[in-house]
Chain A
Amino acid sequence: GAVVSQHPSRVICKSGTSVKIECRSLDFQATTMFWYRQFPKQSLMLMATSNEGSKATYEQGVEKDKFLINHASLTLSTLTVTSAHPEDSSFYICSARDWAQGDQPQHFGDGTRLSIL
């Protein structure tokens, strides 16, 4: 089945630091990947859609200059949290689906726990 790998699994850093999270589709190509954020005891919230070779599409209320997304290849999307602050601490999860397989569902990475001190 489709495997999505996310790295790193956990990041702890100081306020003001920029943090990059990688999302890879290991055994399929993904022209589109998705980034979600999940706060404690809450559900996943879609942040943005990452499009290979073009600009990402952000959901309402998500700052595109804060959360930079790059999707330079068919198997890799990166999310960079710029100048992170404690309120950015959250669980970030990416997903992708194999568009070559028409009815295949999205598969998720294992998430990245971001803690800003």
Chain B
Amino acid sequence: LAKTTQPISMDSYEGQEVNITCSHNNIATNDYITWYQQFPSQGPRFIIQGYKTKVTNEVASLFIPADRKSSTLSLPRVSLSDTAVYYCLPWGSGGGADGLTFGKGTHLIIQP
């Protein structure tokens, strides 16, 4: 299983763009990279998933370089409600069922 490294915490302000980078040096060839957001006392919520290059949806963008050893979640114009813990998780879609191995995540704090 790919081990991930993310900053423990980050601070930013409302309206700013926030980029959270995760390293996953030993990611498997078939692994996707998925990011989740978790608020206190709630289950993780899926944000975005990618395999390579760039993926964008209505809430975020995900940048993955060619070597796929890292990925960067980009949140445009954050608000106070984006204060949460963010997890990056490589996982494989094929073959047997694998539970996810969560790292410590990044605690993002947005200030007014």
Binding site for B on A (CB under 8 A): 1, 4, 6, 31-32, 34, 36, 43-46, 49, 51, 59, 91, 93, 95, 102-111, 113
Contact = CB atoms under 8 A, between A and B. Distances in A.
B63 interface: no
Contacts of B93: 102-104
Contacts, number: 62
B13 interface: no
B3 to A, nearest CB: 13
Contacts of B41: 91, 111, 113
A106 B105 CA distance: 17
A46 B43 contact: no
16 contacts: A43-B103, A43-B105, A44-B100, A46-B99, A49-B97, A49-B99, A59-B99, A93-B44, A95-B100, A102-B94, A105-B34, A105-B46, A110-B43, A111-B41, A111-B42, A113-B41
Nearest to A50: B97
B100 A34 contact: yes
Contact of B43 (A31, A32, A93): A93
Contacts of B49: 103, 105
The 3 closest A-B CB pairs, nearest first, are A108-B43, A32-B97, A46-B99
Contacts of A45: 102
Given A106-B46, A108-B46, 7 more contacts: A34-B100, A46-B99, A46-B101, A95-B99, A103-B32, A103-B93, A108-B43
B104 interface: yes
